[in-house]
């Protein structure tokens, strides 16, 4: 026996059909869709609806797909959230303030099966995929808590988004719908560790949404040590697919590169990376690694990051060093969830 309908799992068209199935007029879907993405806490706040319909919805549907379990607030304004989802599992989101506005990093899975050696997200493996509603509701819950309009979203939290591809695409379409959150496609970025078949699908399905690829190494030897996915896909193949992506979409691709002391942060690593990326429409985002107690990896010093970036710049590669936010809270992906499970 199925439970109540989760409205945030629905696209606008599906919500229209649900409203009609209740014997209500189709235009009621517009009112519900708009108000639930404005951050309504419950159906009683949607006062445009008659009382009888609000009561009907309370009996047949639920408005939210996640519930807040824990919040950590950094001195720099960053907020780390732990949300509970159906079945009792938990996922994380991060709210960040930038000069251009507010951004939220959301999770796509409870856990992860990719097994990257430096990441806390996959230490206990994958529990389950998130539904589209559970992905989207992280944004609305953060907006409600901060009182901010969220203008940018990155799907870079716990999980491999392309390992949950169908629900990811549904979530992106819901985020972008102008009748709800109305987040511009170019203000959304999805990160993958390099599932090449899905990169082609993504180029076709979401050509305006940004793509970030977790590279984290200048060659196959180091990448295979850090990322199990690299054992079935060489860097040559991955970068070939990435070049195809830029030609199909005419969009710049971002390569994420977590700097790990003594592993991938040497001058020769920067030279090798620059040679591999030469001529590609790309940008490298150097990330000071957040320390995870469960592994031995340490972040490179800020000075080392600057020297690495300088080499890339001299070789014509666009690069930035990510500003470190939330350093005084459980900033590493999966760390807050892991702390609660242990």
Select the more confidently predicted residue: 336 or 96: 96
Distances (CA, A) of 171 to 138, 155, 185, 190, 246: 11, 10, 12, 12, 23
Out of 123-132, 150-159, 295-304, pick the least confident. Answer: 295-304
Q: Which of 40, 116, 242, 333 is catalytic?
A: 333
Cα first-last separation, the chain: 33
Q: Which of 92, 160, 167, 256 is catalytic?
A: 92
The single residue listed with the structure tokens 């070789």 is 315
* pLDDT for position 323: 73
The single residue listed with the structure tokens 């499970």 is 341
Q: Per-residue confidence at 293, pLDDT binned at 50, 70, 90?
A: low
Q: How far apart are CA 236 and CA 327, in angstroms?
A: 35
What domains are there in the chain, each with its CATH number?
Answer: 5-62 (1.10.150.530), 67-341 (3.20.20.70)
Tell me: the pLDDT tens digits for 49-59?
A: 999 999 999 99
pLDDT of 122 higher than 50: yes
Burial class of residue 52 (count of CB atoms within 10 Å of its CB; 0-12, 13-18, 19+): exposed
Tell me: the pLDDT tens digits for 128-144?
A: 999 999 999 999 999 99
* pLDDT for position 245: 98
* pLDDT-above-90 percentage for the chain: 83
Distances (CA, A) of 322 to 259, 287, 319, 330: 11, 5, 10, 17
Q: How far apart are CA 19 and CA 49, in angstroms?
A: 12
pLDDT of 322 higher than 90: no
* pLDDT for position 292: 65
* Strand order across the beta sheet in which 319-321 lies: 67-73, 79-84, 90-98, 101-105, 150-155, 188-192, 210-214, 253-259, 282-288, 319-321
Q: What is the mean pLDDT of residues 189-209?
A: 97
Q: How far apart are CA 149 and CA 101, in angstroms?
A: 8
Task: List the alpha helices (DSSP H) in the chain.
Answer: 12-21, 27-36, 51-60, 132-146, 165-176, 196-205, 220-226, 235-249, 267-277, 302-314, 335-341
* pLDDT for position 239: 98
92 noted as active-site residue: yes
* pLDDT for position 342: 46
Using only C-alpha atoms, what is the Rg of the chain? 21
40 noted as active-site residue: no
Cβ atoms of 260 and 300 within 8 Å: the answer is yes
Select the more confidently predicted residue: 302 or 206: 206
* pLDDT for position 240: 98
Q: Per-residue confidence at 99, pLDDT binned at 50, 70, 90?
A: confident
Tell me: the pLDDT tens digits for 19-73?
A: 999 999 999 999 999 999 998 999 999 999 999 999 999 999 999 999 999 999 9
């Amino acid at each position: 026996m199925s439970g109540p309908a989760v409205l945030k799992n629905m696209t606008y068209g599906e919500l229209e059909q649900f409203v009609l199935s209740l014997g209500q007029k189709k235009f009621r879907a517009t009112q519900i869709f708009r108000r639930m993405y404005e951050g309504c806490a419950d159906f009683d706040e949607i006062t445009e609806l008659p009382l009888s319909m609000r009561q009907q919805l309370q009996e047949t549907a639920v408005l939210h797909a996640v519930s807040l379990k824990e919040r950590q607030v950094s001195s720099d304004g960053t907020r780390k959230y732990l949300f509970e989802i159906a079945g009792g599992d938990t996922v994380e989101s991060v709210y960040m303030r930038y000069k251009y506005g507010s951004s939220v990093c959301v999770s796509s899975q409870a856990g992860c099966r990719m097994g990257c050696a430096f990441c806390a997200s996959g230490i206990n493996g994958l529990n389950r995929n998130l539904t589209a509603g559970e992905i989207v509701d992280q944004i609305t819950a953060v907006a409600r808590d901060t009182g901010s309009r969220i203008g940018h979203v990155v799907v870079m939290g716990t999980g491999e988004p392309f390992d949950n591809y169908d629900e990811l695409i549904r979530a992106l379409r819901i985020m972008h719908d102008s009748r709800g959150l109305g987040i511009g496609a170019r203000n959304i970025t999805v990160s993958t560790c390099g599932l090449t078949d899905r990169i082609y699908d993504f180029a076709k399905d979401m050509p305006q949404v940004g793509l970030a690829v977790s590279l984290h190494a200048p060659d196959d030897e180091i990448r295979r040590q850090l990322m199990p996915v690299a054992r079935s896909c060489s860097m040559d193949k991955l970068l070939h697919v990435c070049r195809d992506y830029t030609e199909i979409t005419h969009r710049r691709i971002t390569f994420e590169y977590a700097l790990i002391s003594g592993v991938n942060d040497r001058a020769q690593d920067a030279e090798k990376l620059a040679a591999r990326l030469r001529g590609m429409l790309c940008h490298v985002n150097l990330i000071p690694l957040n320390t995870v107690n469960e592994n031995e990896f340490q972040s490179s010093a800020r000075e080392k990051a600057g020297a690495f970036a300088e080499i890339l710049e001299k070789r014509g590669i666009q690069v930035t060093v990510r500003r470190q936010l939330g350093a005084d809270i459980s900033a590493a992906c999966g760390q807050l969830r892991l702390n609660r499970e242990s």
